[in-house]
Structure 1
Amino acid sequence: MDTIDFFQPKWLLRYYDVIGVCSLVLNSLGLYLLLFETLKLGRFRYYLMLLQISCALTDVHLTFLMKPVTLCPFLAVYTVGALSTYFNISAHICVIMVGFFALIQLESLIFCFAKKHQALAFVLRIHILPNIMLYFYYLMCIICPFVLCGVLHHLYIPTEQQLDYIEKNFPETLPGFLSLSHFVLCIKSDNLTGFYFCLFIGGFGLCSLFLFFIIDMLGLMKDLKLRLSTATYQKHHEAIQSLMVQFFTSLMCIGPPCILLVIVFMELNHGQLASQILIAWFTSHSSVNMVCLCLFFPPYRRFFLAKSKKFVFKKFFSNYWKFSETKSRLSELLRHQLLQGITKINSFTFVTFRLRFICFLLETYDRWRHVACKYFSFDGLTSFDSGRISNTEAEMNEIDFSKPEWLINYYRAIGITSLVLNSFGMYLLVFETGRLGYFRYYLMFSQIICTLTDVHFTFLMQPIPLYPLLSIYTVGVLSSWFDISSHFCVVTSSIPTLKSPLFKIISGFIALSQLEGLVFCFGMKHQTVADILKIHIIPKPLLYFGYFKCLIAPFILCSSLQYMYMTRTEMLEYIDKNYPQLLSNYSHLTHFVLYLNTPNLSWFYICLFIGGFGLFSLFLFFIIDIFRMMKQLRLKISISTYQKHHEAIQSLLVQLFTSILCLGPPCVLAVIIFIEIKHGQLVSMVLIAWFTSHSSVNMIFLFVFFPPYQRFFVRKIRRK
């Protein structure tokens, strides 16, 4: 049996607090919008409100009142929420309440589908359900939650019998269970198997009912479009769109309990951590539901667009970007800003806003760092990191802690080169690519992010790897002059003496923003060509979802790195216990960071791989589709207009190629760390140096292969 941790996972309890507050805020906002922003839906909005309230009650119960902590591989939980702590209510009652609220939530969603289906059916006078069937359904909705609660109570055995069962079969876990004041253990039996069978049949019936309503409503809507006015049809369409969004978010977030049951029966290694992640995933249902509604439900989307135009745009962008001005005025304004050294153009101001926001989030999180869960305490890590301790003493002794002067000098040289080339590139984008129109500003956003990445690596950070450990130390400006730790050169934290956001720019954040900038440029050019041909136009909700992912992805990356961080004391204790021969050298380093090979790090790598594969697929889709559309576009527009689009695409392809060429080294570096090759420290230094050359190589390739830049240099050479 896998080792069971009976200590409270602080990260999970903090997550409950955060997601509970988010759920309350978002659901309160949802109730407000249903009351005052969806008047076109009529009485149907009150059915949606019932669903919203049931979602809110489920999340509040799980995140504040119950706070369950799983004890995998047992089918057991203990609770530390308000009901158990303040009112001494048993974990068994809390579990029954979860089942009650979750089933009411599903029934509310079915009820909304049924009401909308019958509303459409009455208009067309077809597929009207008999009243007897409807009344039977209402009766089932009332009875089923109580039946579920009765079955769960029937499966319950008293605490004394649970302890007797544990003492008889798993005596080594008895002290841990005795230390818990509120827990419940479900013992495998024929009754439990029958309960699972009934749950499977009920779930299959609910899925069949949802499928029937969805297919039939879509069929009814086709007939309805020919009989109703545009406004009335739009009202029904928006209501169905709301239901579809909530149905898919329910599938996405209610799936974890099913996976949890599989984990319990298969008794997977580290199943307790996996089960806690699944429970945390489940509690995010209401928040994810509201976020998706704000993105894809037209009344909500109109509300936020109106508010954003009124407040956010005026606050952040009105001084730098005025849509009412002509193209010549925009160019003049941008040129004037650059001459005066003002770099807060539209895109960069947006990046600065995001950096300030992530600084605030991680400053708050850093206050909780000292109460990290046991998985990241020193004792808990030694068992997970046993694989890495297999390095021989000889390999560890080969680590060179001296400062490689060649690498430091290379950082300085490539940093200066990058600044010069990128500054020149920005000048050319402003004054030599007028034919590209507004698209050149998207290219400038990508150019600025490339520059920031290189400046951070070559001047502010200057990382030096300590292979074969996943460790680096930094000797850049941030560490040498401002005493900022190596970890905060990767992830930001609270720096009370430094107020400027320039000192909190982070490598992970900027590197991901760099890729997002390139994806954004591809997406904008793809949609420009698609709008001309009136084909392959991406729906607005999907675009807004993409923008939303671009906003949150850097936050998630930085939070993940912050979560894996250990304090200097913890790192030195780990080194002292596992690599005592390295302790003296590490003690002399003023700024270093060490990341351990834990299951969380493996999940982090998996997520990075999935994200990288997704980005690569997106690039591939844009490239293939753009080339197909360009063939059709050539016959419909003038030669000069076609040449403008062709040059923009050529610029993007050059930057994509250089990105693949220079972003490959981090992937190779990760492989080298795991396979542990000889002279790996020198190889890792070369790979990092290769990565820092990305921006300079990118600019050189643009000078050679991008026609506007080619024409500029040819013109200058002919003059001489």
Structure 2
Amino acid sequence: MNIDFEVPIHLIYHYYISGSISFSLNLLVVYLILWHSTRLDSFKFYLLAFQISCISSDLNMTLFMQPVPLFPMRSGYCYGISSRVFSWSTHAMFTVFTFLVSGQIEVLTICFIRKYKAIMNLKNMSKSSSWKYPLTYLICISFTCSLALSVLLSYDSHDVQMRELELLFPEIAPKFHALREFQYYTMNWRLITFFALVGLGTVKATVLVTILVARMYRTLKEYSSRMSRKTLDRHKIALRSLIMQFMITPITFFPACICLLTILIPTYYSQHQYSVISWYACVVITTHSIFNSIVVVLTYPEFRRTLFFCKNKSRSINKIAMVLKNNRGSVQIIVKRHFELKSNKLCQRQSFFVQLQASQLEKSKSCFSRSALPITCIISDLNITIFMQPVGLFPICAGYCYGIFSRYFSWSSHVLMTLFVFLLSAQIEALTICFLRKHKAIMNLGNMSRTSDWKYPLTYVLCISYNCVYTLSIYLSGDSHEEQMKVLEELYPETAPKFRALREFHYYIRNERLLSFFVLTTFGAAKTTILVSISVIRMYRTLQKHSSRMSRKTLARHKLALRSLIMQFLTTPISIFPGFTIMLTVIFPSHYSQQISWYSLMIGTTHSIFNCIVVIFTYPEFRKAVFFWKNDIRKSVNSSFICETFGFINT
């Protein structure tokens, strides 16, 4: 039997990528359900419960569990955070996985029952008792608990597992001894009970949903004449969405059936190299929430309109057209007199008050975005200059730390490097969010391109998610101390004894994980540059086009903030350039590589100094405060501006 016991890195990468995508899409659907579902009444809370179950199941499988099956044997191990960091057993994580997947299907079944109750209550002839539905909900939840309990009870001790492995698979048993932790399920009545409950649950859910859908469609067709068109459409849309979501649930349990077949009918390809049936089955399972989120968005018109920026302008225009049609004569006279006598003054006053209100709102919100970047700069500087204090050993891709965290708290250099990457990336993403926040404020001043509000929070979430993925890439590129020393002794035999003399260090082996970190670094730099460039061009174009509609003060304020952000962005290469310089010293080593890396780190620590100078010099208010200029001139200007304003309003 040919079984690969190595960790499939491509499968682990898929877990992270698929988990990030599904988590982002699920958050988008949760946002749409909470704030863009006016026609769903209380049913939206049931949909929300289903989305929360999807999020929990995806995070568990792609981040905390990360199962690696060893089929056609009934065994496997986990590589996720719960296993490596918290030392959870594979059996405990498989029990949690079973509970969450079963709970996901049962919550969807409860959504069907809730919609069935709403539709059945539309016909007066057969109102059913209300106690039946809570009882059905309780049965669904109890079945989930029973299924999870059955897999929990199928556990055998480690000695029993090894005894059966040595009896049935003597040539593979030593490889199981080499694993840090694994789980092998012996075929007994407890495991058969679990398989029987899985089959029963699948049949139960399918039959129950089929009966409910048939009765609901029959009721809607029979009583459609007694309902308003709006009510009928609402029920049909919700029912259609539930059916589509139920039709993609086989993505969750169909791969499990395939894995079961690989156990019952083992083949050469059941678990061999890259033709791994069981691995591909795990890949397919993680895509369920992605398809489910797409189905929810596409089957609800409200969500589609929000996602594709389609507003309800046509509906409001139709209503206005009906009013104008019914009162054509009087409306024409009023509109004519309005534009003849009051047009200029009213338009100017309206423009003034809109700008005044927008400026006050902008000031109240921009203080948070302006303070976020300095806070990230402070934390990043404290980390690198006091807590970390990195010392590079280039051109070897290694180094150690001499800061407080290393000397007093015994933090490893790899953990400190991960924290440094997280803070540095967060600093750049915070500046990007500042640009997006200013872009939103300026775009809202021009009526030509008023976009949906959800677009910006989603972009903020993507920036934060990229920061987390980027940090995760450097964290996963770490290797054990034994592997580092083994590679150092092979590549640098004359330097390896000096590394042994160090109290603590970290050497990064050049592999696909470190390459992924370098790729994400380049991609992040390109992403930020392109995004900021496009935002700046659009903001300057909007300010230039709509400058005549803004007050001079509002226009100057936006230009000052935009100029300051651009200057701060131009100082970010002070943080990034040393990293590229160090990377060049690794790729093209020389006699002065170590000295170059030291000076590069010195330059990197000066970023916040230049950033603070830029902020002070680009904001007139800060310059006046620093150089002790009084605000007498500003007060006189503001008082005269207010007098002129109220004089204009009274004319």
TM (normalized to structure 1)?
0.46
Structure ID, larger Rg: 2
TM (normalized to structure 2)?
0.50
